[in-house]
Amino acid sequence: MAAMSRSELDKDTITKAYARWAPVYDLVFGAVFEQGRHAAIAAAERIGGRILEVGVGTGISLPYYSPDVRLYGVDISEPMLRKAQQRVSELGLKNVEGLAVMDAEHLDFPDASFDVIVAQYVITTVPNPEATLDEFARVLKPGGEIVLVSRVGAEAGLRRALERWFAPAARKLGWRTEFSFERYAVWAKKTADMQLVERRAMPPFGHFSLIRFAKEGGTAVAGDRAQTATRAAG
């Protein structure tokens, strides 16, 4: 087996890292990532129907979805999900069908189970990002969308150098600093029936992006996607 590259993560590291983050996650990241969360929810609700949120964490996003959509949340961290379940119970979120401990790379759902897959700040934290995206595409219905808010690494310059320098410490915290947009674009090109339709910079500092992939088929409006597809190339 080849040696692990400097940017790779393993499941045990991630699980332990997010168990440590669970008690303070909302306090540390709540306001910082708020705009990205709301953008992802708005994109998901344009499709509507049954939504799977992968990496639901403490359930911080769940109260902001419309009661008209149906939600299912999964996360690899049991301590995070305990806080999510408490939030669902306290707020009486009737549209949350369930919460479960689950590996994003091995989702325990049949093919074409959901209209939208939402994954916020997840893809750069999993051991095998492309395999995880493959799994998202498998459980997505034709005409549905994958909606990501994800870190995009710098292609050059000082920021890229700093990301590479910080990479070993970032892995211990449970994420990657260096992850180019090209990986998302290449995945879409190689994956049958999937199309990259939008990339939009998100705060803080534009280091994150809202990224949407559409699955061919279904009744989704093609015109709206054609208008936003040009953003993905920018």
Residue 65 DSSP SS3: coil
Domains by residue range for the chain, with CATH: 11-232 (3.40.50.150)
Confidence of residue 5 (pLDDT cuts 50, 70, 90): very low
User: What are the start-end ranges of the E strands in the chain?
Assistant: 50-54, 70-75, 96-101, 114-120, 140-151, 194-202, 208-215
Per-residue model confidence as pLDDT tens digits over 121-130: 888 888 899 9
Per-residue model confidence as pLDDT tens digits over 60-83: 999 999 999 999 999 999 998 999
* Region 174-178 average pLDDT: 50
* Region 50-57 average pLDDT: 96
Any bridge partners for residue 51, and if so which?
71, 116
Are the beta carbons of 67 and 95 closer than 8 angstroms? yes
Per-residue model confidence as pLDDT tens digits over 147-170: 999 888 545 455 444 545 344 544
Per-residue model confidence as pLDDT tens digits over 95-123: 999 999 999 999 999 999 999 999 998 88
- Bigger pLDDT: 34 or 140? 140
> What's the pLDDT at 153?
54
Which residues touch 128 (CB under 8 Å, ≥6 apart)?
105
